[in-house]
């Protein structure tokens, strides 16, 4: 009977078209319906901050070098992942990520909470030659990042583009983007104070690549890696609340 119905449907142009429309509508409804409740399902994070210009530059280099192809940034709710990487990822943590870098391919570990897990020196050594710190690593070398001067003159345009898609950068942030990138990696310079003023006192301001002599792509990438999972404490607060409920 099913085979007869299928053959009959294939021979009827209008019937086949209507069947395609019905099946496509079901799939579309399943994908679209949850969006109507998105305001109720996405967590609130009043402490959420934006990426600094230097961190934006580092993220751009991270994408340019294809790091997202081997490293995901999405910790699932599975117990072994939470125990290894930390609290599972919340949707709100990616609200300023354009494009998002969640991923599912893990040739290397997930990086969603790598911020502050290792020292700047560790990251620099790891990027220059991964085998120096992880002997079994299959990651390529990125030593040229330490010698490549970071181009910052167009960072204001990058921030302006991100504002167009919803990231709350102010006119002042956009206008001062190049200097803020320089200031974040030069703690003793007069530019550092402006970074703290615009992005908050918790902003990491230091010589990320260990070389105070200039601003490099290594500075940017390490600054970006060190902020992953640290733009908001929402996931840690939720984990603490859940632990309290279980204890009760």
Give per-residue pLDDT as tens, 22-32: 888 888 888 78
* pTM exceeding the 0.75 threshold for the entire prediction: yes
| Closest of 202, 203, 222, 201 to residue 211, by C-alpha | 222
Collect all residues with Cβ–Cβ distance below 8 Å to 67 and sequence separation of at least 6.
none
Structure tokens at 207: 């010589």
In this predicted structure, the answer to whether residue 247 has a pLDDT above a threshold of 80 is no
For the chain, the domains span 2-41, 53-243
Banded pLDDT at 172 (limits 50, 70, 90): very high
Least confident of 105-109, 174-178, 242-246: 242-246
pLDDT of 195 reads 97
> In the predicted model, is pLDDT for residue 107 greater than 90?
yes
Q: How many CA atoms within 13 Å lie on the side-chain side of 31?
A: 6
Partnered with residue 149 across adjacent β-strands are: 216
pLDDT digits (tens, 9 = 90+) for 201-242: 999 999 999 998 899 999 999 999 999 999 999 888 877 666
Q: CA-to-CA distance for 196 and 192, rounded, in angstroms? A: 7
Rounded Cα distance, 88 and 101, in Å: 15
| Chain position carrying tokens 């490549």 | 148
pLDDT of residue 232: 93
CA angle 113, 118, 120 (to 5 degrees): 115
Rounded to an integer, what distance in angstroms lies between the CA atom of residue 187 and that of residue 69? 33
Name the maximum alpha-carbon separation found in the chain. Answer: 81
The answer, yes or no, to whether the previous bond of 99 is cis (omega within 30 of 0) is yes
Instruction: Give counts: helices (H), strands (E), the chain.
Output: 12, 0
Quick: pLDDT tens for 66-89.
999 999 999 999 999 999 999 999
Q: What is the CATH number of domain 53-243?
A: 1.10.760.10
Query: What is the C-alpha to C-alpha distance for residues 196 and 193, in angstroms, rounded to an integer?
Result: 5
Mean pLDDT to the nearest integer, 44-52:
91
Mean pLDDT of 132-144: 96
Contact 216, 149 (CB under 8 A): yes
Q: When comparing pLDDT for 45 and 128, which is higher?
A: 128
Retrieve residue 56's tokens. Answer: 């934006």
When the pLDDT of each residue in the chain is averaged and rounded to a whole number, the result is 90
Q: Contact at 8 Å (CB) between 105 and 70?
A: yes
């Amino acid at each position: 009977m099913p085979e007869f119905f299928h053959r009959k449907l294939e021979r009827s142009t209008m019937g086949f078209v209507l069947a395609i429309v019905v099946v496509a509508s079901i799939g579309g409804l399943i994908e679209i319906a949850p969006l109507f409740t998105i305001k109720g399902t996405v967590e609130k994070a009043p402490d959420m901050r934006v990426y600094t210009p230097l961190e934006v530059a580092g993220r751009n280099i991270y994408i340019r070098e294809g790091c997202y192809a081997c490293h995901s940034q999405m910790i699932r709710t599975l117990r072994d992942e939470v125990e290894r990487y930390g609290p599972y990822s919340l949707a709100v943590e990616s609200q300023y990520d354009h494009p998002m870098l969640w991923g599912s391919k893990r040739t290397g570990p997930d990086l969603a909470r790598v911020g502050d897990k290792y020292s700047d020196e560790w990251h620099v050594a790891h990027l220059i030659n991964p085998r120096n710190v992880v002997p079994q690593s299959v990651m390529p070398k990125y030593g040229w990042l330490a010698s490549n001067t970071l181009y910052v003159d167009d960072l204001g345009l990058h921030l302006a583009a991100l504002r167009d898609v919803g990231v709350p950068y102010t006119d002042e942030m956009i206008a001062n983007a190049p200097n803020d990138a320089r200031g974040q990696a030069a703690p003793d310079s007069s530019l550092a104070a402006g970074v703290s003023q615009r992005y908050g006192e918790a902003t990491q301001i230091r010589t990320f690549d260990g070389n105070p002599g200039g601003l490099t792509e290594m500075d940017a990438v390490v600054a970006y890696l060190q902020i992953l999972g640290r733009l908001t404490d929402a996931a840690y607060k939720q984990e603490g609340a859940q632990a309290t409920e279980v204890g009760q």
